[in-house]
Structure 1
């Protein structure tokens, strides 16, 4: 299972949010570029960035993100405010390894299917769920579609993955989150990446045995120091297959 050390950016700083509330960030006083480098130095093969400013139509983090992409030495999966084809392709041209798309997929699924076909293994579908509905516009707008139907609409698209977040639980009820994510993973054709569910190594242990879950975002636990990148990677590795002994 792939571990994606995760950095959420707002106004050039690393932050975490409670239930997506952009006006109440927990600010982490660290250097974003050096923090990204530390993820790679610890052995991560990918990292994930969410740009909260871009969700609001503010692209002031762009040069910082471009610097991270240049400096980190591992592929970067980028989400936040990807509302047009031009914006998605702009970031692919700037070196992002994958682009996470949610709101645009709900508004124009045909366009996102075309993007996935034109950029195979570079488009990730974001499925943000609140009380059984897919949310858009930075978790503020409820769509009239279930997560199951939303995922099914992209069955034929060559997605790199499907990033599932249960906003309602938001770390307070991991059992409910695992139930939602595992249920969606069962029906999805693309591999599922779990978001917002890892508090410590035990959660990774449970996730890696759920069928079709290919990875997990790990952010808040790293900044709160309840988990290190090295620990997360060690737990996520496949268990060695037993070898029969012949006499």
Structure 2
């Protein structure tokens, strides 16, 4: 059975990296290892092929916004994948944390990627729009009001789709990450903060109950939530003909 700390979302748990007095060296090692962690657990390569690539325009450079981009590994990966596919893509990563922004801009530059220290609300106020808006592992950091504000901002910013990928809380996610993250734990915050993230994350049914109409919660695989919004003018495609990937949207509401 699921233990008491996983039966309900732990809204009061705080990740070490969010503390203002967080150890700078440990934080730097954590940012450096995010790329590997995300490659293993987040599955953005599949999400890009199924949910992003089919919507990118070919007649002009496409634009993607990565909200809460952290160290910027997803923004850089999206640009590389698009370039591999022969697409012109401009990716903007935004994060209000000065430490995350400093890390992101310190990395070797990738063509088509830029970083700004900003909130999504700042971009809405500036009247900016993007073809696709994404975030990775952001939702579990937010309280109910912040979640609603992010989704409102996403709808205002996205022309074609908004995608927010995050952990789905489960006993197995907790146990597997607890063991699998051990090689990355020394000198970093990866394991401790990853387990806190799982405790703070939503189950699919819980997330569905917190989002406004027009958003759907998909389960691309166990242990993951994918929150999706398509503006009315852009119905979701069934598949991407270039690789035949099926837009699988398990939406049964059961915990993994």
* Structure ranking higher in strand proportion: 1
* Structure ranking higher in helix proportion: 2
Q: Smaller-chain TM-score range? A: 0.3 to 0.5
Q: Which one scores higher on RCO, CA 8 angstroms, separation ≥ 6?
A: 2
* TM-score normalised by the chain length of structure 1: 0.37
